[in-house]
């Protein structure tokens, strides 16, 4: 996905994957999913005294069992050393002549927003100009703000719209910030806390989608209305440019300031996988006529790139699912349909992302879940040249993390692998080969371990890959504590990555770490994702179970020594491992999870995921959804493995109530090995700062190691 597409759809695409914010109305919803026979609806009162008293009591029990030990303290401190390390890479984004970075460490737990020059950045110890100190801001205001980034007006990049979250959730307060004076602009643009989408048009105008009052947000809790807001006027006077439907996921607007190609666009995300784009020209909406159910459209300069989710027949040609095709934007809007195919997948490859430089297009391709980069260049005769970039090390991931598409062919890429500390490289296509600018230090001794990739047949015969990190010379005696991690949803691919926390907290203790690339994810593009949608959801769980069984069959581990971990959609995966395959695991860590699939559309941002799971309020769809709804399927008298449910009070995406209710229901059934912990901050992530994140990771690893005897 290009930078521009990422900016436009960031709101929609982050709905399931990132941090959580404040939850929906504390009052249980009415309607067919009110589930009046559910005795734990009272736990849906997010901040209610009764609910929070229950949370505090549960936290105390879990802390006493797993956190009040020297081993826990050692693990937590070792993880915190990684997160607070001053030697870690300060990743940067170019804006004009400066490189911008947000940094958290021991001295700056909430972080500082800062910038430097390229010449300084090349140095071992760059000189940084601090723009905004979040800890100092919190002290001055008596708040607990979490920095959520900002949008700066190009090309000068002196005016920025900064997002601040009260606790780490998706809802943010937006303030205008002046870079030269390093201060918030008095009487500048300001939006109270809400799930807001805002972007610059020019010095005095912005596009804004926010909570304008009753009816202005979608059922999914995101902006339904896009408006133009003029500086110096009240927000209530902003002019509407588009109104979506209540059932839409989100509506957003943006102004493309690319010199010579200035255009305005409205994007209407109907759900995660269906969207419409309109060009706003002379006050009129002109549909960018790409079928909403087939593809994503991405205009850039003179080009329109279309990434296909399904096969598309247009202009007498059928382009396959997973392909990337290109056409001149003006030609397409004039009715022409003869595209050039830039990428076609096969059984082993999928397009992970793409990103423009000034004259080139960089494709990030996954080949059996491992990375390669291709550089495409449009030529005067209408064809595109294709040249491969140098390959990455085996079992690694290469990502282009930043480019300068308006001005130069500069690119920044990161290289990482399970045993390879991340590096940051910079190059200029056609001028400078990529060279390493920054290198993360090793946080554990990788020479002790070996990475391998395996494939196993799932229940329907599909070959499912997984990565395995073992101690060298491992004995295949079934006695190795093994942690199996998975996600399997929303076309998200789990590629190789370096984790000092995993290395220190699991591998260095003698454990085996495994990542399963199950269906529902994006490891093999749209087909891999669509294979486990809605009525086919059980395939994802069959895949994960097949990997677990293969680990036992190969002698790597045994059920008593095999743990599983997953969060968010991966938490739903864990809930189904608990209820459908309890015999396969010795312990399960279920983090910020979906679990109550009967009511999920009435909780937090749940309505936004109907395209993934189905609508439980439709009896025909509930017939298949109930087969993978752990809250409904958990039963008394079963042999469930020990389980830890982790969530956060400030999660306004999935919300904390599903984990709460599942833990309470299992305890009431008499299960003694059910544990629960709820952090008050952190949103949909592990914590609002490094200390909180280290605590939560240590709690998870301590629980799993303790239970996998």
Contact 481, 513 (CB under 8 A): no
**74 is an active site residue:** no
Q: Assess if residue 583 is contained within a domain.
A: yes
pLDDT number for residue 282: 94
**568 is an active site residue:** yes
Bridge partners, residue 544, by sequence: none
pLDDT at 569 over 70: yes
Q: Assess if residue 375 is contained within a domain.
A: no
Read off the tokens for 75. 């693990």
Q: Assess if residue 235 is contained within a domain.
A: no
pLDDT number for residue 392: 63
Contact 289, 274 (CB under 8 A): no
Kindly list the distances between the CA atom of residue 648 and the CA atoms of 12, 23, 385, 457, in Å, as whole numbers in the listed order. 21, 10, 49, 36
Q: What is the pLDDT of residues 67-101, one digit of tens each?
A: 999 999 999 999 999 999 999 999 999 999 999 99
Percent pLDDT > 70 in the chain is 94
pLDDT number for residue 22: 27
Average predicted confidence (pLDDT) for the chain: 93
pLDDT number for residue 294: 85
Q: Assess if residue 654 is contained within a domain.
A: yes
Q: Per the residue annotation, which of 220, 568, 608, 629 is the catalytic one?
A: 568
* Interval 48-72 mean pLDDT: 97
pLDDT at 11 over 70: no
pLDDT number for residue 521: 98
Domain that holds residue 574: 13-80+443-707
pLDDT category of residue 394 using cuts at 50, 70 and 90: confident
Residues sharing a CB contact under 8 Å with residue 423, sequence separation 6 or more, in sequence order: 89, 414, 415, 416, 436, 438, 439, 440
* Interval 129-141 mean pLDDT: 98
| Residue whose pair of structure tokens reads 């008298």 in the numeric block | 637
Hey, is 109 helix, strand or coil?
coil
Q: Per the residue annotation, which of 165, 684, 697, 702 is the catalytic one?
A: 684
Lowest mean pLDDT among 28-42, 171-185, 448-462: 28-42
Q: What is the pLDDT of residues 22-44, one digit of tens each?
A: 222 333 333 444 456 899 999 99
pLDDT at 136 over 80: yes
pLDDT number for residue 382: 86
For 322, left (φ over 0), alpha (ψ -120 to 50), or beta? left
Q: Assess if residue 129 is contained within a domain.
A: no
Q: Assess if residue 470 is contained within a domain.
A: yes
d(C-alpha 390, C-alpha 372), whole Å? 8
Backbone angles phi, psi at 198, to 5 degrees: -140, 140
Contact 392, 415 (CB under 8 A): yes
Alpha carbon dihedral 683, 26, 43, 677, in 10-degree steps, equals: 10
Question: Read out DSSP for 568-589?
Answer: THHHHHHHHHHHH-GGG-SEEE
Q: Assess if residue 264 is contained within a domain.
A: no
Q: Return the ∠ at Cα 359 (arms to 329 and 343), rounded to 5°.
A: 65
Lowest mean pLDDT among 8-17, 77-86, 114-123, 507-516: 8-17
Bridge partners, residue 251, by sequence: 268
Total domains, the chain: 1
Contact 179, 142 (CB under 8 A): no
For 300, left (φ over 0), alpha (ψ -120 to 50), or beta? beta
CATH of the domain at 542: 3.40.50.1820
Q: Assess if residue 608 is contained within a domain.
A: yes
Q: What is the pLDDT of residues 291-314, one digit of tens each?
A: 988 888 999 999 999 999 999 999
Q: pTM for the full model? A: 0.94
């Amino acid at each position: 996905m290009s930078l521009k597409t990422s900016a436009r759809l960031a709101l929609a695409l982050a709905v399931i994957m990132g941090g959580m914010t404040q939850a929906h109305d504390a009052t249980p919803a009415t309607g067919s999913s009110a589930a009046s026979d559910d005795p734990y609806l009272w736990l849906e009162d997010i901040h209610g005294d009764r609910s929070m008293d229950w949370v505090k009591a549960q936290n105390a029990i879990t802390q006493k069992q797993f956190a009040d030990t020297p081993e826990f303290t050692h693990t937590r401190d070792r993880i915190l050393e990684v997160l607070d390390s001053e030697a870690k890479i300060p990743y940067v984004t170019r804006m004009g002549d400066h490189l911008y970075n947000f940094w958290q460490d021991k001295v700056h737990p909430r972080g500082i927003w800062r910038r430097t020059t390229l010449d300084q950045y090349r140095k071992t110890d760059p000189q940084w100009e601090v723009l905004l100190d979040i800890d100092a801001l919190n002290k001055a205001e008596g708040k607990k703000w979490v920095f959520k980034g900002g949008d700066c007006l190009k090309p000068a990049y002196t005016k920025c719209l900064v997002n601040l979250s009260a606790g780490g959730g998706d809802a943010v307060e937006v303030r205008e910030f002046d870079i030269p004076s390093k201060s918030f602009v008095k009487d500048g643009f300001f939006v109270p806390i809400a799930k807001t989408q805002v972007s610059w048009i020019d010095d005095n105008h912005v596009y804004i989608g926010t909570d304008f009052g009753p009816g202005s947000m979608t059922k999914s809790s995101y902006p339904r209305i896009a408006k133009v807001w003029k500086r110096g006027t009240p927000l209530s006077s902003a002019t509407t440019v588009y109104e979506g439907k209540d059932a839409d996921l989100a509506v957003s607007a943006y102004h493309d300031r690319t010199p010579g190609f200035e255009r305005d666009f409205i994007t209407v995300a109907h759900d995660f996988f269906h969207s419409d784009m309109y060009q706003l020209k002379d006050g009129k909406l002109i549909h960018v006529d790409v079928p909403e159910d087939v593809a994503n459209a991405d205009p850039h300069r003179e080009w329109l790139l279309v990434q296909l989710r399904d096969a598309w027949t247009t202009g007498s040609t059928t382009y396959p699912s997973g392909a990337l095709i290109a056409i001149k934007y003006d030609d397409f809007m004039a009715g022409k349909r003869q595209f050039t195919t830039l990428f076609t997948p096969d059984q082993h490859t999928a397009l992970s992302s793409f990103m423009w430089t000034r004259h080139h297009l960089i494709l990030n391709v996954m080949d059996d879940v491992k990375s390669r980069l291709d550089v495409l260049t449009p030529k005067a005769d209408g064809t595109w040249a294709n040249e491969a970039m140098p390959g990455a090390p085996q079992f690694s991931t290469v990502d282009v993390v930043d480019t300068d598409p308006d001005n130069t062919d500069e690119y920044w890429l990161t290289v990482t692998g399970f045993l390879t500390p991340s590096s940051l490289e910079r190059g200029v296509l056609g001028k400078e080969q990529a060279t390493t600018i920054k290198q993360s230090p090793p946080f554990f001794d990788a020479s002790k371990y070996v990475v391998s990739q395996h494939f196993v047949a799932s229940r329907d015969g599909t070959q499912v890959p997984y990565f395995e990190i073992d101690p060298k010379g491992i004995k295949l005696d079934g006695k190795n504590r093994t942690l199996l991690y998975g996600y399997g949803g929303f076309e998200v691919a789990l590629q190789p990555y370096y984790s000092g926390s995993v290395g220190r907290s699991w591998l260095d203790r003698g454990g085996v770490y495994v990542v399963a690339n199950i269906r529902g994810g994006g490891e093999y593009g749209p087909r891999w994702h669509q294979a486990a949608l809605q009525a086919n959801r059980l395939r994802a769980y069959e895949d994960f179970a097949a990997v677990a069984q293969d680990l036992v069959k190969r002698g790597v581990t045994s059920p008593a020594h095999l743990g599983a971990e997953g969060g968010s959609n991966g938490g739903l995966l864990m809930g189904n491992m608990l209820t459908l395959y309890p015999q396969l695991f010795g312990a399960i860590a279920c983090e910020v999870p979906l679990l109550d699939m009967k009511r999920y559309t009435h909780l937090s941002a749940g309505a936004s995921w109907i395209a993934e799971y189905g609508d439980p309020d439709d009896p025909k769809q509930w017939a298949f959804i109930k087969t993978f709804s752990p809250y409904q399927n958990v039963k008394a008298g079963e042999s469930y493995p020990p389980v830890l449910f982790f969530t956060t009070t400030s999660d306004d995406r999935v919300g904390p109530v599903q984990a709460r209710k599942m833990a309470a229901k299992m305890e009431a059934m008499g299960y003694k090995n059910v544990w629960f912990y709820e952090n008050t901050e952190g949103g949909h992530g592990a914590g609002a700062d490094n200390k909180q994140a280290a605590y939560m990771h240590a709690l998870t690893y301590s629980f799993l190691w303790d239970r996998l005897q």
